[in-house]
Amino acid sequence: MTTTPDQPTDQNAQPTEGQQPQPQQPQRHGQHQRQPRQQHQRNPQQQQNQNQQNQHQQGWADISVIVPLYNEEDSLKELNTQLRTVLGRMNIRYEILYIDDGSTDRSFQVLRDLKRNDRHIKVVRFRRNFGKSAALAVGFDKAQGNIVITMDADLQDDPAEIPSMRRRIEDGFDLISGWKKVRHDPITKTIPSKFFNTITAMMTGVKIHDMNCGLKAYRKEVIKTVKVYGELHRYIPVLAHWEGFKVGEMVVQHRARKYGKTKFGLGRFWKGFLDLLTAIFTTRFLRRPLHLFGPIGILSMVIGGGVDLWMVINRLMLGPDVYALGSRPMFFAATILVVIGVQFISLGLLGEMISKTRTSAEEYSIREFLK
Ligand code: UDP
Ligand code: MG
């Protein structure tokens, strides 16, 4: 766990109003009162240095909200209003990062208009649809808050949960995953989801009921450590758990989709399964692929080699007339097992070599970034 022990008390160490780099948040009275008196008596230069240091250590915001979206033009305005209400009440510095994942409707125009009247908003626009994982990855990269909240843009997640999620992080968790205990989704989605969540919990040891909930809260270290790509957004808690972070969950309200329709069709089941394999592979075996392929290869070689040996001995003892190898399919099957075994081991070794030289490449392309 990379958490520093003093993390939950960070708030008290934040700069005072006079040191605020961005004046748009003047109402931080709750925290202001808790500032040590002597901070006000520092000379401006000292204050500025301290300020820069704090910014450097803590980022520019207390909370970053990341919203990946794909064709959600109808929901955005309402969502933004709800977010502003909740975040405004919290007396914190915040930013809202909208990641437009290549929408083909008016989503980007809506966001650009919203941004005009609100300096908390930042918008990243992809050139095309790269998927929710890529959108989250770029959000994680750009986010500057000490605590990061991710949520869907379709109004299914309730921004009112943010304050209590933040409290759980301050209590010491590194990641709090939402749990839609009462779901407002069609049955074609809820049943497979239950199935996947059970299997995932069994296979990975991360006992979370709702792995793929869009509403999550993270301590900054988590999002700067975990690499989300492909379709891995579904398994972020697993990835975080394997990095050693403390993962928890919290029951959250869930609402039915108000506008538009789901962006994940039936393909989600099949992809979900492949992603589970990926999650297991990348968390447990990415750095040591031979540990996955090696045992399979050795087992295959031992069985095949053993059977072959036994047959060759039989052939030598009984002679070619009684025991002809050429007419025994078992002999060929065993030989194939030996070959497969060699291949698995080679694959593992190749994987080891690749994992040693691999440099990670970004897998998205940004068209615009409105800061
Ligand atoms: N989304 C995205 N890129 C995609 C697909 C979806 O950014 O390629 C966003 C979508 O706009 C929404 C969130 O991911 O904000 C969850 O998508 P959706 O509501 O369709 O998923 P569901 O709730 O049905 O699981
Ligand atoms: Mg949804």
Q: Please, what is the Cα angle at 174 between 173 and 177, to 5 degrees? A: 85
And the tokens for 83?
A: 């977010």
**Coil, strand or helix: which one is 175?**
strand
By C-alpha distance, which of 96, 104, 109 is closest to 68?
96
The predicted pLDDT at position 230 comes to 74
What are residue 249's DSSP bridge partners? Answer: 177
pLDDT number for residue 66: 98
The residues, ordered by sequence, that sit 6+ positions from 23 with a Cβ below 8 Å of its Cβ are none
CB atoms within 10 A of CB 133: 23
- For the chain, give every domain's residue range: 57-284, 290-357
CA 174 to chain centre: 13
68 Cα nearest atom in ligand 1: 7
| Other Cβ atoms closer than 10 A to 359 | 4
pLDDT on residue 232? 81
Rounded distance from Cα 254 to ligand 2 centre (Å): 10
The type of residue at 215 is: L
216 pLDDT higher than 80: yes
- For the question of whether the overall pTM of this predicted structure is more than 0.85, the answer is no
pLDDT at 137 > cutoff 50: yes
Report CA(185)–ligand 2 centroid distance (Å).
8
As a whole number, mean pLDDT of residues 51-60 equals 52
Higher-confidence residue of 13 and 304: namely 304
Question: Residue 3: its pLDDT value, please?
Answer: 38
261: CB partners within 8 A, 6+ apart: none
pLDDT of residue 76: 97
C-alpha 66 – ligand 2 centre gap (Å): 15
Instruction: Examine the pLDDT at 358 and tell me if it is beyond 80.
Output: no
Supply 89's token pair: 């009440």
CB crowding 31-50: b at 16 or more within 10 Å, else e: beeebeeeeeeeeeeebeeb
**Do β-strands 61-69 and 94-100 pair in parallel, antiparallel, or remain unpaired?**
parallel
Q: Which atom of ligand 1 is least distant from the CA of 263?
A: 20
Q: Which of 103, 263, 275, 363 has most ligand 1 atoms within 8 Å of CB, for mutation?
A: 263
Give the 3-state secondary structure of residue 63.
strand
332 pLDDT exceeds 80? yes
Distance spanning both ends of the chain, measured CA to CA: 32
Q: DSSP letter string over 100-112?
A: E-S-SSSHHHHHH
User: What local confidence, expressed as pLDDT, does residue 139 receive?
Assistant: 96
Question: Which contiguous run of DSSP H or E holds residue 230?
Answer: none
Please tell me the least confidently modeled range out of 118-132, 157-171, 274-288.
274-288
Instruction: Give the per-residue pLDDT at 17.
Output: 39
Site to probe by mutation for ligand 1, drawn from 132, 150, 228, 268 as the one with most ligand atoms within 8 Å of Cβ, is 132
320-332 mean pLDDT = 88
State residue 185's pLDDT score: 86
Name the DSSP letter for residue 234.
G
Protein residues whose CB sits closer than 6 Å to any atom of ligand 1: 68-70, 72, 101, 129, 131-132, 135, 152-154, 156, 214, 262-264
Topology adopted by domain 57-284: Spore Coat Polysaccharide Biosynthesis Protein SpsA; Chain A (3.90.550)
pLDDT tens digits, 19-49 = 444 444 444 443 444 444 444 455 555 555 5
Task: Report pLDDT digits (tens) over 83-125.
Answer: 999 999 999 999 999 999 999 999 999 999 999 999 999 999 9
- 58 Cβ contact partners less than 8 Å away, ≥ 6 residues apart: 10, 14, 146
The vertex-78 CA angle with 75 and 119, nearest 5°, equals 110
